[in-house]
Structure 1
Amino acid sequence: MPVTLLGATEIRTLAAELDVTPTKKLGQNFVVDANTVRRIVQVAGVRAGERVVEVGPGLGSLTLAILEIGASVTAVEIDHRLAARLPETAAAHGVTAGALDVVDADALRVSDLPGEPTVLVANLPYNVSVPVLLHFLETFPALQRGVVMVQAEVGERLAAPPGSKVYGAPSVKAAWYGPWRLAGTVSRQVFWPVPNVDSVLVAFARDASPRGGDDERLRTFRIVDAAFQQRRKMLRQALAGVLGGTAAEATAVLETAGVAPTARGEELSVDDFQRIARAAALAA
């Protein structure tokens, strides 16, 4: 029997049965429009036979849309009631046994995923979207690509190029793993409850070769954080604390890296920050 999707009425009924009231604390806004979840799966290019990880499946709207095309899903859900009910909902909507694994855990702490997913598709809680994405990209190297729905402001920041007004530390850290792009807008009206922010789809693809090891990534991210904590200052001043302690020492490292000491963090690409980290390691 084919997999069927949840409708708005059934979603509200399910929530009532589970005594689930969408909360701002958990960033819960359930998608109640079948066309929207099918569109997300299409934008992600999910194919039959692929293993997808979904963060925050909630009542299962997007989960069923992924399963509908013949992919399998590892769903990570922090709400115990929702995690317990999801397999039952999936079975009632025609999902075959073994196609869905539910991990009842906080996505920020999960360190193992059944099935080694290669695709990430999620309607991410707005309050933790960037930390979750960075954690998953760092922890699960098998993830090759994905599409996530996030608050518009967050999505624009993730996909921002150097020099953009919204370019910042999240932009650089996301770019460490590969390119990101805005992949569409989502109407507020497809959610229950209707949020007071706009949403966008953001797509990413992991670079074929890792940019660097954990130590180099941590060094680079430390420099990124310092640069954007004082983003109005020139790098020779903003990075003094992490590049030797003085503006003169920072200047020497920056010149070795081929970066102008008078530049500001918002002008630098992830490659620039990585070169600074490597120059700093040599100077240490």
Structure 2
Amino acid sequence: MKKILVTGASGQLGSELRVLSENYSRFVWIFADRTQVSLGDLSVLENQLDLFHADIIINCAAYTAVDKAESEEGLANTINHLAVGVLASWSASNNAKLIHVSTDYVFDGNSEVALNESAPTNPINVYGATKLLGEQLCLTTNPEAIIIRTSWVYSSFGNNFVKTMSRLMQERDSLNVVNDQIGSPTYAADLAQAIIIIINHANWHAGIYNFSNAGEISWYEFALAIQEIGGFDCVIAGIPSSSYPTPAKRPAYSLLNKEKIESTFGVEVPDYNVSLRRCMGLLKD
């Protein structure tokens, strides 16, 4: 049986893959957290990979604290860039498949149309810059790798926008939410399902792919959808990003075009509202 190593196993995507793995017992699944596969410590990473010796690596681990990355550039670079090079090198040398998860933050946000995989990259914050370097090193070191760019990830696991908004809407009478950053959210369970489809596909097609849910919305509109589904009685106002300054700039527009992953692997892309209802249903249980 093939062994699948999932790094970042305690995160949102890793947790969703763990749920789905129960339906795919023909694989031996290894879910490794940062103590077992340490992307932040390059001196031990290769030995850890040797220990598990997986046939497929799904790298869900990343430094994702976007604002904190501005002051912790070294650590973000180690995890998002240099460690990805080690994963790519190990997988290439050991005839293993590698799926690496990246981000819409590799773009500058100046597009006016949904971004396909060949759209020019130009990150505007440290997090995006380190993730782009990781992508580049990954494909240079192992051209047979698959990279999946995603955006605005949420889940019933971990901390995320949906859970934060749901809580705040019950605690407060009013909220301000940014209305000039456009994209589409990604239910981590849907991304996990897309990854399962790829590893079960008859053919391995290396390269970069986009995945997020269908729809084009702002964070403000996302909050309104959460309010409607949750039935929360809270006044929500849309505000410009300039009224909510953060250490790291965010792309104003980072909607991803998903046609490539749909046509290549037959992945279905659910509408964001459908997936949001599924997730919030789990949160109510």
Q: TM-score range by the shorter chain?
A: under 0.3
TM-score, normalised to structure 2, is 0.28
Structure number with larger C-alpha Rg: 1
State the structure with bigger RCO (CA 8 A, min sep 6), 1 or 2.
Answer: 2
